[in-house]
Structure 1
Amino acid sequence: MNHSFSTVRDLFRYAVTRFNQAQLVFGQGNVDAYDEAAYLVLHTLHLPLDTLDPFLEAHLLQDEIRAVFDIIERRVTHRLPAAYLTHEAWLHGYHFYVDERVIIPRSLISELLIKRLFPSIDMPDKLSAVLELCTGSGCLAIMSAHAFPYAEIDAVDLSAQALQVAQKNIDDYNLNKRVMLFEGDLFEPLPQRQYDLIITNPPYVNDESMKLLPVEYCHEPRIALAGGGDGMNIIRRIVSEAHNWLTNSGILIIEIGNEQHHLQAVFNGLPMTWLPTNAGNNSVLLLHAADLPCKKH
């Protein structure tokens, strides 16, 4: 360990340089080397995550310097996403426990839930039942419980391991009475009921894109990312079955990332409303129950 490093500024500068030299890939919570370095340094030193400047000239103990060096090297050497190193993820002010059993929370649907899906839903307090498919860490189910305070929230995932993480987050938010978890394949484990709203950030990465994923993203569960040849395997099933699970005025909201061209090729002619997010206007779509195909049970 280099003993010429003594301040937070020294370690922060070193981390940015190290991350850039290693050509790390970001986007799983932080957008660039600067943000990632600030987060990891502040987290490791148990300092407020949004307050770097007042601590830049603080001199550190040798044990503190060693701890920061260690997490910087783990990030570089193993290319582990920061969230897996710290076991935490932040999403619009919400804090979630995460580990490699779940995809790191970053869904674009989260920014819509902060706004209670306005104007798509004009009376959010009237919702009584919400379903989230492919819940992973449970982050969107938890945010839905806050956005729609009078609704019961059901959340489904195929992975029993992911649901263990989701249950921990639900416990942390004291939402056990309102958020129910179901293990199984999409709608299969649910008791028959109808929902005012179904949301989902399903696996949608197509096979060619899966081959090109950076190492950081390959640490995430493949089951949470891979959507088949055109990325639409799971989405096809959700769209074909959702009508049976929605109220007459219910809506289905699906995140599809960069797969708009594949989605439109599969569902050409289906009326779609694209919801604006910080990533643009072609990553999250809304479908009305009345427009969805009616499939017999």
Structure 2
Amino acid sequence: MRDWIRWGSSEFSRRALYFGHGTDNPWDEAALLVMWALQQPWPSLERIYDTRLSTDERHTIFALFRERITTRKPAAYLTGEAWFCGMSFEVTEDVLVPRSPIAELIQAGFEPWLSVYPARILDLCTGSGCIGLACAAAFAEAEVDISDISPLATTLAEKNAQHHGLQARVNVIEADLFSSELFAGKVYDLIVSNPPYVDAKDLASMPEEYHREPVLGLQAGDDGLDIVRKILSQASDYLSEDGLLVVEVGNSWAALEEAYPHVEFFWPEFENGGHGVFILTAQAVRDIVSAEKRF
């Protein structure tokens, strides 16, 4: 098995594949595909490195490697599975591959920024449901709403909620941000979102692997802030008094600070990589809305 991973890694490097959808190097990408082909859990990799492969297994692995190279599809689309916060999620080409650095905040319980235990949590632009469902697993007593504009995404998110046995506490909503009447009268202690935030220039220059993902989940206007502006202008109506807003904006962080020069966004640093996630208190979000009304 080790030799197949080594060969796959070399081929991926030689063909200049891009890695940014769950792995960040060719060795891990090859290993992920091999482990999936063998139907083995990722944590057992080190233990079975020297396993001898059957002819059928070698054929399966070769076919996966070839498809990864020729289609440039991220590995998760080939396997139909991605890992996030230690949880397995079904993924299709209708949603982005889970990879947000928000995972690190979830695993830390959003400390030290979250001042209350979140009784109700909202995940906007949920895609596969990974962020909201990971929050539901982390906060076992919380009620969680997960929302997306895409019916294909909400269908998949429902499946993932059922897979993890979280459907009793997780409500899936099909809506354009807060547009659904199902949000009427609700307030949340935590609103978290990984919305589309890629600007036009970045989108045009992204590696092929990103162009295998749904553009609906990526593009957000010339400066990447089309959706984020809406969230900032609407979220105050749905945040509790001590609520927290956490939003990923990636490379559009500079455009955000330029657009809101008087707002003190907090940008946490991540030990496991990633950047461009801001945190705002409910009061800070309300201040943004108040300032917009004055002008």
TM-score bracket relative to the smaller structure: over 0.9
- Which stretches in structure 2 are left out of the alignment for 5+ residues? none
Name the counterpart of 1:161. 152
Residue number among 152, 168, 171 corresponding to 2:162 in the alignment: 171
State the distance in 1 between where 2:166 and 2:39 align: 27
Bigger shift: residues 286-295 or 147-156: 286-295
Q: Secondary structure at the match of 1:274?
A: coil
State the distance in 2 between where 1:179 and 1:205 align: 28
- Which stretches in structure 1 are left out of the alignment for 5+ residues? 1-7
| TM-superposed deviation, 1:267 | 1.1
Conserved? CA contact 1:200–1:255, under 8 Å: yes
CA deviations over 1:82-109 (Å, ceiling 9, x no partner): 0000110012311111010110001111
Pair 1:50-2:23 in alignment: no
Name the counterpart of 2:188. 195
**Structure 1 runs, 4 residues or longer, greater than 4 Å off:** 279-282
Q: Secondary structure at the match of 2:254?
A: helix
One-letter code of the match for 2:190? L
Name the counterpart of 2:133. 142
State the distance in 1 between where 2:58 and 2:137 align: 39
Bigger shift: residues 47-56 or 250-259: 47-56
Conserved? CA contact 1:274–1:281, under 8 Å: no
Residue number among 52, 59, 80 corresponding to 1:59 in the alignment: 52
| TM-superposed deviation, 1:62 | 1.4
Pair 1:261-2:257 in alignment: no
Name the counterpart of 2:174. 183
Q: Secondary structure at the match of 1:17?
A: helix
State the distance in 1 between where 2:102 and 2:147 align: 16
Pair 1:27-2:20 in alignment: yes
Larger helix percent: 2
State how many pairs are aligned. Answer: 287
State the distance in 2 between where 1:95 and 1:19 align: 24
Q: How does 1:71-90 map to 2 (within 5 A)?
A: 71-90=64-83
Pair 1:94-2:94 in alignment: no
CA deviations over 1:145-166 (Å, ceiling 9, x no partner): 1222222111110000011110
Name the counterpart of 1:251. 244
Conserved? CA contact 1:275–1:281, under 8 Å: no
Q: Secondary structure at the match of 2:269?
A: coil
Conserved? CA contact 1:204–1:226, under 8 Å: yes
State the distance in 2 between where 1:146 and 1:52 align: 25
**Normalised TM-score (structure 2):** 0.92
One-letter code of the match for 1:77? T
State the distance in 1 between where 2:119 and 2:138 align: 12
CA deviations over 1:129-152 (Å, ceiling 9, x no partner): 111110000011111112222221
**Normalised TM-score (structure 1):** 0.92
One-letter code of the match for 1:145? A
Q: Cα distance 1:57–1:286, how it changes in 2: closer, same or farther (>3 A)?
A: closer
Conserved? CA contact 1:244–1:294, under 8 Å: no
State the distance in 2 between where 1:109 and 1:134 align: 14
Name the counterpart of 1:69. 62
| TM-superposed deviation, 1:177 | 1.4
Identity of aligned residues (%): 38
Conserved? CA contact 2:196–2:216, under 8 Å: yes
Q: Cα distance 1:287–1:57, how it changes in 2: closer, same or farther (>3 A)?
A: closer
Q: Secondary structure at the match of 1:285?
A: strand
| TM-superposed deviation, 1:52 | 3.5
CA deviations over 1:39-68 (Å, ceiling 9, x no partner): 111210223423344434433221111111
